[in-house]
Amino acid sequence: MRQAGRYLPEFRETRAAQDFFDTCRSPKLCCELTLQPLRRFPLDAAIIFSDILVVPQALGMEVVMVPGKGPTFPEPLKEVEDLLKLRQKVDVTAELGYVFQAVTLTRHSLEGKVPLIGFSGAPWTLMSYMVEGGGSTTMAKAKSWLYRYPEASHRLLQLLTDVVTDYLVGQVAAGAQALQLFESHAGHLGPEQFQEFALPYIRDIARDVKSKLKAEALPLVPMIIFAKDAHYALRDLAQAGYEVVGVTLQGNLDPCALYAPKEKIGELVKKMLESFGTQRYIANLGHGLYPDMNPEHVGAFVEAVHAHSRHINKHG
């Protein structure tokens, strides 16, 4: 997911001097933080260091990172009228150009060693943060919008879809070689709400990004959809216009497995690869790494994936 993180001492050192979102706005620091995990581990791709909440910021909302609490919106969306405070037309180059600069700088710095992945949050996940005002275990405020204000919810989701589409196209123009869309809060929706308030926008983003890339003569890069805990929607997601579906239990190892001894990590990876094979399959973790994880265990995971893949490819 995010390869850089607090589990790396060099990350903590680079990040110590600056506010989180100031770091996101510094192309030089984003480039450095993106490259740090690759200096340590033989990873097969780099993921640009950024955050999904730069999109609500581009719409004019304030987001601050509160230590011990996480991302917080001092003035979340409470009533339908609050939608009028959002920018209705967003110039992504003006508002998010710092991400594009980070992508270009990182792409040059990688010197073709591995591809660079760009990403964005998906509309429902972004909306849920904007209404909740931060993280939430229930998403009750955001879900109540879907029931109480369905039309306004669709207006907000459409606005987010338009911005996310331009943002992803801009990342490809800047040098991203694959794109990932994170519907991290999919699991908070039941199948019906997912069908109405998440899936149509996920589909539209795939379609619109591809048509804009064609129109601008940019590379048609592979797109990955990651909808956390939306196991009930796998069939629909597989037909939503993406080249790759990232799923939490299928094909991805539980991040907490990295707390196990290194030998055990190797066994779990072997079992996972034997189940999924090595073709058209990306070995990954089900979600992010935790700050207290041992970098050596992350290294053991990466090494095990490479070693067992080579063995399976050689011996069938």
State whether the Cα torsion 128-129-130-134 is positive or negative.
positive
| pLDDT(246) > 90 | no
Distance from C-alpha of 227 to C-alpha of 208, rounded to nearest angstrom: 19
Give residue 160's Cα distance to chain centre.
Answer: 15
For 75-110, give one letter per residue: b (16+ CB within 10 A) or e: ebbeeeebbeebeeebebeebbeebbbbbbbbbeeb
Under 8 Å CB-to-CB from 65, ≥6 apart: which residues?
Answer: 19, 20, 21, 71, 72
Contact 57, 63 (CB under 8 A): yes
Q: In the structure, what pLDDT confidence band is assigned to residue 287 with cuts at 50, 70 and 90?
A: confident
Average pLDDT, stretch 283-302?
Answer: 93
Closest CA relative to residue 31, chosen from 108, 117, 105: 105
Amino acid letter at 32? E
Helix (H, G, I), strand (E, B) or coil at 48: coil
d(CA 221, CA 148): 38
Residue 267, CA distances (Å) to 30, 110, 301 in order: 34, 32, 10
Span 148-193, pLDDT tens digits: 999 999 999 999 999 999 999 999 999 999 999 999 999 999 999 9
Give the distance, in angstroms, between the CA of residue 99 and the centroid of all CA atoms in the same chain.
Answer: 14
Residue 245 CB coordination number (10 Å) = 18
Q: What is the pLDDT of residues 91-110, one digit of tens each?
A: 999 999 999 999 999 999 99
Q: Copy the structure tokens of residue 41.
A: 């581990």
Contact 55, 123 (CB under 8 A): no
Q: Give the confidence band of 252 by pLDDT, cuts at 50, 70, 90.
A: confident
SS3 of 173-236: the string is: HHCCCEEEEEECCHHHCCHHHHHHHCHHHHHHHHHHHHHHHHHCCCCCCCEEEEECCCHHHHHH
Q: What percent of the chain has pLDDT over 70?
A: 98
Q: Are 226 and 252 in contact (CB under 8 A)?
A: no
Catalytic positions, please? 2, 6, 15, 51, 129
Find the mean pLDDT for residues 142-147. Answer: 98
The yes-or-no verdict on residue 141 having pLDDT over 60 is: yes
User: What is the percent of the chain with per-residue pLDDT over 90, rounded to a whole number?
Assistant: 92
Q: Is the confidence at residue 14, as pLDDT, over 70? A: yes
pTM: 0.96
Largest distance between two CA atoms of the chain: 63
Q: Which residue type sits at 306?
A: H
* Mean pLDDT of all residues in 276-302: 93
pLDDT tens readout for residues 22-67: 999 999 999 999 999 999 999 999 999 999 999 999 999 999 999 8
Question: Cα–Cα distance between 168 and 84 in angstroms, integer?
Answer: 24
Cα distances (angstroms) measured from residue 224 to each of 86, 98, 109, 238, 281: 28, 23, 24, 10, 12
pLDDT for residue 173: 98
Which phi and psi (to 5°) does residue 130 adopt? -65, -30
pLDDT tops 50 at residue 136: yes
The pLDDT value recorded for residue 249 is 44
CA distance 151 to 145: 9
- The end-to-end CA distance of the chain, in Å, is 29
Residue 17 has pLDDT above 50, yes or no: yes
Q: How would residue 131 be classed by pLDDT, with cut points 50, 70 and 90?
A: very high
